[in-house]
Amino acid sequence: MSKELLYATNNPGKVIEVSRLLNFYGIEVVSPKDLEIDLDVAETGNSLEENAMLKAKGFLSVAGERYVLSDDTGLEIDALGGEPNIHVRRWKDGKTKMSDQEIIDYCLERMKNIPIELRGAQFRTVLVLASPDGKTEIFDGTLRGIIPLEPSLKRVEGFPFESLFFVPEWNMLLGEARDIDPAKKGEMLNHRERALQKAIPRIKELLDRT
């Protein structure tokens, strides 16, 4: 059984973010690209949990003897009744895949008449850790913030809201925290990192057995 953890995503930005944190804790992460796996799991679930589970089981089938970690993240904007939730990429019509810039523009258009004090939102990430024998465990993390009136010019491909999500407890945009060394971040954890922190002890326990 391999001590490598397969992170079930084709999003290069996510691979970098998750690998950086897990490597800090001594966990070796590989991506589908590293293993020359060509798989795109359809996210047909009705919740973050369902989508993360679909991805975990899909990649588990091609992971060999590796453990698999998958995730799904949703953004819930208070003033828009919790939209876009799981539908960030197909927010506008539920069908057409949108680019990062299209998502940013659409969000600002929908919120153009909403005052700053009513622009609260939260990110929520659900992680699924799947074992080679098919057993799964779920972890989650949330981060509260505010949608500002204008986005930052700094962009991270694959993460449109990192330039459009201000975190009051950090006094900075979500994307600005990306450049802080994990060893110096302390409690400045985003939604995915908060879920990962819950999962790390279990991941280490399982990999140490292999």
Do 145 and 75 form a contact (C-beta atoms < 8 A)?
Answer: no
Could you tell me the pLDDT band of residue 197, with boundaries at 50, 70 and 90? Answer: very high
Domains belonging to the chain, first-starting first, are 5-209 (3.90.950.10)
pLDDT single digits (tens) 81-122: 999 999 899 999 988 999 999 999 999 999 999 999 999 999
Residues 6+ apart with CB under 8 A from 159: 13, 100, 175
Residues 6+ apart with CB under 8 A from 42: 54
The rounded mean pLDDT for the chain is 92
- The kind and range of the H/E element at 5 are strand 5-7
Do 149 and 126 form a contact (C-beta atoms < 8 A)?
Answer: no
pLDDT score, position 27: 95
Helix, strand, coil content of the chain in percent (nearest 5): 35, 20, 45
- pLDDT of 163 > 70? The answer is yes
**Maximum CA pair distance of the chain?**
55
Active site residues: 72
pTM of the complete model: 0.84
pLDDT score, position 13: 82
Amino acid identity, position 32 = P
Could you tell me the pLDDT band of residue 182, with boundaries at 50, 70 and 90? Answer: low
